[in-house]
Amino acid sequence: MLILGVESSCDETGIALYDTEQGLLAHALHSQVEMHAEYGGVVPELASRDHIRHVLPLTENVLKAANKTLQDINAIAYTQGPGLSGALLVGTSFAESLAFSLQIPTINVHHLEGHLLAPLLEINPPAFPFVALLVSGGHSQLMRVDGIGEYELLGDTLDDAAGEAFDKTAKLLGLGYPGGPALAKLAEQGMARFKLPRPLLNSGDLNFSFSGLKTAVLTLVNAHTNLDLQTKADIAWEFQEAVTEILTLKCMTALRETGLDNLVVSGGVGANSKLREKLNAATKRKLCKVSYPRLEFCTDNGAMIAFAGAMRLKAMQGNGNKSYGFSVRPRWDLAELQAP
C-alpha cells in the first residue's frame, strides 16, 4: 500500500510517500523559518498562506522522486492536530479533497503520534513496549507506549515545553528564531561558569518545569550590563546543561519505574547533541537501549505522518475514512488516542 503523508501543523510543509512493503520512498519539506524569523516567531496567517503555496509543488516533487503517479496512491494520511488551526486546515482540506477525487481512504493523524513513531522509520526500529520522551516546541512529555494508540502519560511539563524554553532563552540572549539550534551552537563555545537551578529534578514524579529556568537566565542577563559573547556562551552552556540533565534523569526514572529497558526520543529537542550524549551514557550504564529518529525527522516532517498513517491503516486492514468531511483539532490530547 502506498500512503501519501501531509504535514502542515505549524511552520513546515512536509510531504512524503511511504510504501508498506518498501518503506519510505520519498519525502520533501519546505521550512518557513526564514519568513517568520523577522517577526521573532510564527505568524499564523503567514504560515497558512505559505502552506497553500507549497503543498501542491511538494506533492508533485515526491511523486516524481518516487517515480509514481497520483493513481498509485492507496491512502492519504494527514495531520489533523494539534497545531495552528489555519495551517492545519490547508493540509486537511488538500488531503481530503485529493482523496475524494481519487476515491481512496484518508487517515487523520495526531501530530505527536507522528513524532512518537518517527524513530520506527529507522533500520533496527525499537520494539514495543518502550518509554518515549517527546520534547518539541510545544510539548515535553514522558509516555509509556505499548503499541499504536496505546499511550499512557507518565509525566508532563507544568509550564513551558523544553523547546519553548530553548527558544525563549535564546531570545533573551539575542539569538534568532528558532532559538534551540542557535543556542546549542553557541553553547559549544561556552564553559562551566554560572549555576542555574534544576527545577523539579528531585520532585519524585516525572513532571517538568522550565519557566523558572528562563527567569533565572533573565536575572543573569540583567546582572551583566555588558553581555559579551563569551558570557552569552557560558549562560547557553549552563542552560543546556540544566535542561539536558533534568530530561536525562527523568527518562532514567521512567525506565526504572516502568521496568522497561527501551527508551525512544522524539521531537525537535531530540536533535540536541548534548541531550543525546547524556542519554547515550546513562542508558548504557543501565544496560538500556535508546533510539532516536535521524536528525531531519526530529523536527516536523511528512515522513512521520505517512508512517503513522500507514501503521494505523494496517491495523484497520486498509479501512480508512471515506466520508471526506473534515475538521481540524488545534487542541488534542495524545492520551485520548485509541488503538485502531
Which residues in this chain contact ligand KG4 in the complex, by CB under 6 A? 136-138, 163, 166-167, 178-181, 184, 267-269, 271-272, 299-300
Which CB atom, from 178 or from 302, has the smaller least distance to ligand KG4?
A: 178
Residue 236: CB minimum distance to ligand KG4, A: 11
Handedness of CA 335, 291, 211, 155 (dihedral sign): positive
Residue type present at position 64: K
Which CB atom, from 96 or from 164, has the smaller least distance to ligand KG4?
A: 164
Work out the number of other CB atoms within 10 angstroms of the CB of residue 159: 15
Cross-strand bridge partners of residue 132: 143, 264
Contact 243, 157 (CB under 8 A): no
Which CB atom, from 92 or from 283, has the smaller least distance to Zn ion?
A: 92
Beta strands 2-7; 75-81: pairing state? parallel
Residue type present at position 122: E
Residue 96 binds Zn ion (CB under 5 A): no
Residue 201: CB minimum distance to Zn ion, A: 26
| Gyration radius (Cα) of the chain, Å | 20
Which CB atom, from 184 or from 310, has the smaller least distance to ligand KG4?
A: 184
Choose among ligand KG4, Zn ion, none what residue 140 binds, the Cβ cut-off being 5 to 8 Å by kind: none
Residue 238 binds Zn ion (CB under 5 A): no
The C-alpha cell 532514567 sits at 252
Residue 291 binds Zn ion (CB under 5 A): no
Q: How far apart are the first and last CA of the chain?
A: 17
**Grid cell for residue 91:** 493540509
Contact 180, 269 (CB under 8 A): yes
Residue 167: CB minimum distance to ligand KG4, A: 5
Nearest to 41 by CA among 171, 159, 136: 171
Q: Judged by CB under 5 A, which of 300, 301, 302, 312 binds Zn ion?
A: 300
Which CB atom, from 262 or from 272, has the smaller least distance to ligand KG4?
A: 272
Which CB atom, from 2 or from 271, has the smaller least distance to ligand KG4?
A: 271
What is the per-residue binding string for Zn ion in 128-167, x denoting contact by CB under 5 A?
--------x-------------------------------
Query: Which positions lie near Zn ion, rule CB under 5 A?
Result: 136, 300
